[in-house]
Structure 1
Amino acid sequence: MSDLHSVEPRPLDRDLAFLAGGGDCAGLIAALDWNATPLGPIAHWPQSLKTATAMLLRSPVPIVMLWGEDGVMLYNDAYSVFAGGRHPQLLGSNVREGWPEVADFNDHVMRVGLAGGTLRYQDQELTLHRHGRPEQVWMDLDYSPVLDERGEPAGVICILAETTDRVTNTRRTQFLLSLADALRPLTTRNDIMALAAERLGKWLNANRAFYAEISSDMVMRIDCDYCDGVQSLAGAHSLASFGSGLLDAYRTGAPVVVPDIPGNMQLCEATRAALAERRVAAFIDVLLFDETEWVGVLAVQSATPRAWTPAEESLVQEVGERVKNAVERARAEEDLRRLNETLEEQVATRSAERDRLWNLSQDMLARAGYDGMMSAVSPAWSRVLGWSEAELLSRGYARFMHPEDEPHTLAAIAQMAATHRPNRFENRIATSTGEWKHVEWTVAPEADGQNFVAVGRDLTEAKEREADLEIAREALRQSQKMEAMGSLTGGVAHDFNNLLTPIIGSLDMLVRKNVGTERERRLIEGALQSAERAKMLVQRLLAFARRQPLQPTGVDVARVIDSMTGLIASTLGPTIVVEVRLDELPPAHADLNQLEMALLNLAVNARDAMPEGGTLTIAASRRTIRPGDVPGLARGHYVRLSVGDTGCGMDEATARRAIEPFFSTKGIGKGTGLGLSMVHGLTAQLGGGLTIDSAPGKGTTLSLWLPVSSVVPSDEERPADPQPAPTRLGTALLIDDEDLVRMSTAHMLADLSYNVVEAASAEEALTMLDAGLTPDVLITDHLMPGMSGADLARRLKRTHPTLPVLIVSGYADEDGIDADVPRLTKPFRNAELELSLVALTTPAIIVEPAQSLGAGRVTI
């Protein structure tokens, strides 16, 4: 109706006489220009329209008439009050345009009314925008058709009565009664607050509602809240964090109602920011008091600005009081309940303790009779044995005993019955799965002479632990025995080396000088071979004792295997196929010579296990070991070198003893029994281990676990045979406390063109040096009374830094020997001594890094 305009009212003429006495709306109708409406000028209105208009204008109840198919609106003063902010624009407008929010409803009304029908609605709920915002209203509506001069429906007249106050009051009362009924059975504060917040939030269509308690230090505690589209605020909140504005408002004690927080400049910036962070744009906070102290606050919040009505404010206050009363009632009931529970607990303490002991005891408790039946059993019986209570009580207790234990058990019970004194015994009791549990029993008679009580303790785990402990003790004894044997073996090997050194040296000299007749030379050669075999035996003894002299470095295991494959294949013979499986390997921490000997030893053992032929598999791979992966191996990175055969295999007992010294399955005279013990000692001395995987008929795989080395293997070939020594090599100072060893070594040095000066101890040698002796080389035994060879070498580094020192040792106790000091192992022959002296006295070629990007410089 944008083109509808009012004109100045004029005195009513005859065409407007029907408006007389119609109130303010009649004047507005007279002043409007109706030419722009479907009704046209008032002078052309049909009489039926004028008559109906005159009637509704004079009615004290709200009446609106919708004329024509467009439903042009004509109403009286009472309806203008109902229309609110929509008046007077509604006059002369089409009903669909006048009330667009209920257009569908009015379309239905027009269809029914213009068809001659009537409609009646009681407490009809509609949402109208009478004041620029959605508003829920309830009305009684009566619609009837208005007939024109021909008796046909030309319009619809509506008599209405707004029932919003009555309906809202009734619904409010019902809401409060329903809330009170729902709160009554609740016994906890959290349940009360949660229910009240949820119902109030949903009733008011709010985004958040909660009840919070306020402590004396101005901390608001929210245990639970109702949320719709916003996050929960459950937790503790300091009121001071909201700024002084909110706290000042609370101090008044009156409800705090804010419809538009962003636009409320009375709240400080801190308060607005804190509330905005929590998505609060409007709220009602009702403070609840206990006498004069704050006890809580009931809050209803909206995420968008909202104009709260007085009825909504009043409802929040009433709900708050009910919540406070319900919380106080719940607290009082809780206090009373706790008091009653305390009294009941005090009365039932003794019985509860007895029942608790009966139910929770790990021991099996029972009441039984001398007739052989049990009348009560504790739950521990089912936990320990697996039998149900019914099974235990329906069978005689002797049926659960091990047949071998039944006689002495029944005898112990009979003795208790005769003496009336407690008794103790052990037996085995069957489980539901067919196993046996070792149980220690304590039985005591009851006063009735018919029954007794029994307490049974399960000893199964204790006996298993005892068995495990015995196994550990046996392993410790075995380890101590092996350690003692190793120490003894090492000591014996040391003495043998000292004995063999002059023997081998003397025989070697006789061989080199071609002494004696042909028959005598053959005897000397045989003696030398026997001495060499004794030397090999001593080396194996030292390997088993983990005291063999080692020179560990970074070893390329793949290269070792590749270089030895041909030798191994020729040693094993044509009936055995050799397979090699190698992964990409890091360098291994090992002694090259000893590793080659160990590999050959394992191959020979595998050949003996395959008398009819088979396959020998040599494999190497990198492995990372975690604690517990391989027994006896520490955590770290290893190279695993495995030698596997398809031979007869070993049973468990043989595999357990395989690394023991002198243990052999080859028969008397066919082996020393030191092969695997030597390999085991070697790997242990290097910080690794040896594992055996074998089963009868399935072959054997022995694995050497060698730690990964940080030293890169050298690409150089092994040293060539020594060149002939020069005619004169100078003076050699020889130190050894064994006269025969010293004499034999002196002869070798003399044969190598050295002038030899002998000393029986390190102290004697130092005296000679202090007196002016200037030898060209010093050869010293390691283990001697007084100062050791290692201590002497260390001292000479300070006093005679250019004097070459060679330590000779028949024992691997080299803890005190510096790594850079050359060593020679007893027993040795002339060629070995010569090789060591040539390496000791030949200047080394050292490539030093250049100070620039150019090539390195060579120093000789």
Structure 2
Amino acid sequence: MKRGEALLSSVVRSAADAIIGCDAQGRITAWNPAAERIYGYHCDEVRRRPVTMMYPTDVFERDWQVFQKALRGTPTGQHRTVRLRKDGTRVPVRMSFAPIEGVDGSVRGVVSVAHELTDEIRSEARMVAVLQATPDPIIGVDRDGRIVFANASCERLLGYHQDELIGRHARTLFAEEDRADLVELRERLFTDPRLRDETRTLRTRMLRKDGTVLPGETRLSWQDEPGGPLLVAATRDLSELHRAEERLRALLETVPDAITGISPDGLIVLVNQGTERLLGYPRDQLLGQPYARLIPEEERGRVAGMVAEVFAAAEPRMVIYTEAIRSDGVRVPTENTVTRFDTMLLVVGRDITDRVLAERERAQRLASLGQLAGGVAHDFNNLLAIISNYADLLGEEVNELAGADPDRWQPVADDLTRIQQAAQRGAALTQQLLTFSRRDLNRPRVLEPGVILRQLRPALRATADDRIDLDLDVAPDTWPVLLDPGQLEQILVNLCTNAAEAMPDGGRLRITADNLRPARADPSFQPAAEEGRRYLRLRVADTGAGMSVETSARAFEPFFTTKAKGTGTGLGLAAVHGIVGQAGGCLAIDSAPGAGTTMTVLLPAVDEKSAAVGVGGSPAGGSPGDGSSAGGSSAGDSLAGGSVAGGSAAGGFPAASADVPRPRVILLADDEDEIRESTARILDHHGFRVLTAHDGPSALAVAEQHRDEIDVLLTDVIMPRMHGGELAARVAELIPGVRVIYMSGYAEPLLDTEPSYAAAPMLEKPFTTANLLRILG
């Protein structure tokens, strides 16, 4: 017994709450240390004194009745009240009372436990201040649905004073037609606490005191109170949001583009007038329908995958090109910008029929121009070849005379040089016309970009003066591409030349090459870069004057130039466009006035291993145009003075090599008398014996007569009665091992249909004497 009393005494002394014992007359008989701390009295000061000395007048009667109730043997629950300290200040407390029973069961007195509420009340005061300052109306609702507290915002928004709301049914604050559902929800939430976490936010309609209905969003939370949980409802007025939505809807209706909202499960949830115009459906036939029904069946899988990517992407925006099916079954090409907005996708679609038609018309114009260019290229290049050849012949003789009498003959030699340069420029112009119209002669092969670019560095450096810093940055392991080596050179030289001309006062020219696999279709390129396709990316960036949007849009048009008259043909970038398009690639321009320009070329990558091919088609380590290899037209020697194209011989046409002795007897076949005569004179002047023929049958007759003498057949491709390929095959039968070299002003259509032409070198007209001699070895 004593041990138990000692333990109880220890608990009382160590308790944080004030514990006071009183006899039946209300005199204090016990006083623990917490009571000393809270009330300020030492235990000796209060012993045998009435406990009512700490009752403030305003609560005296009520609290004494609570004391008397405990004295009659009935314990009390938690009771909030105040007490007086020794210094006269009031202290808020939460108290409970219990009777003290004697051994015989009679009530001998009352014990009270008081918990100081000063800190809690301060916290409550802060919370009340926050509650009152909150702009949203907040109410507390008990199990019966009555309001037990309300903040000041209720008056501002709903028109009710706080005092009017206390005790009022909460359902009266909501629109009549919503009340039954809200009452049912409240009853279920109070009955089953498990539902509370599932129901946090509700769209509601609040009813003001004046009868006005306001759209709202109500958030629910719960507060545990001694009398049971309270439902706390904070409602935000969405009137301004709804007005903004109405303004947005009005704006959407004025936008000419088709705007469609799609839910995560693929249903149409938003339609504007632009969508109705584009598709021909009224919106009531679209809302709630699957968006996929508007897309051709063969496109649905691709589009669905891209849409899913937008929903999952960190940057939820994508441009999708597809056809849309109108109500009349007509397919309309569209460009669609897809953006994730909240929980739906917004699709802004635009009819691009005019753009598609314009592209087709441009392609038709390009084809027409190509036909025109191809039609005149053969004859024009033959004429230039005649001019160039006779200028070469005259030049050799006049140069000898100028050496003996420079005052008289040097001006003539200079004139002949200008004639040769003019012929070369004419050849370059013809070649550029053929290139941008995609009718030039090219022999694509698998190339290693890193090797080609490093070999091209001197040529690229030559496009810019010393005031321009040139950087070449080639990423390791760049993917190989299928392209004529000379065309790769032409792309870079043309782009670098343009960049250098944009920096007349100097600057920086940066050339980079790396790999690119677009994560999605990129419409910034012409045409759009394909999603997931492997590309070699070439970028040429300058710090020059930059271009306006209007200039950029026309940059690849043939004959469009911003240069002064006489300083540019407007075919440089058009030729680049033609080469890249022919290779299946795409182009992009990033430029702004004063911000420089970046030209980006994407060339499709291939899986094959690259051959050891150098610039201009030379084997790696060889010199351009040495006659031992193939090469297409390039921006350098090939455009200026003819080029040699071809590869190692096949089909019985061996190419020149270091082990083959220099040929002496050449069978020359060409239907143009002047070309045949001037070429024969050039060869004769350089120690060759030349046998000539004006067409294929004549050449065959000569070959039969001189089969034991002829080393080389040098033949035009396009000739009457028998083309060069057939002649070469017939001569090869007569003279096994004969070397075959083709000449052509323009033979691209024939070369495309005759694979045998790829077996021998091709000398493009007009050619220089140096090129002619180089190919002959």
CA radius of gyration, larger in? 1
Query: When the two structures are superposed, what TM-score results if normalisation uses the length of structure 2?
Result: 0.46
| Larger RCO (CA under 8 A, 6+ residues apart) | 2
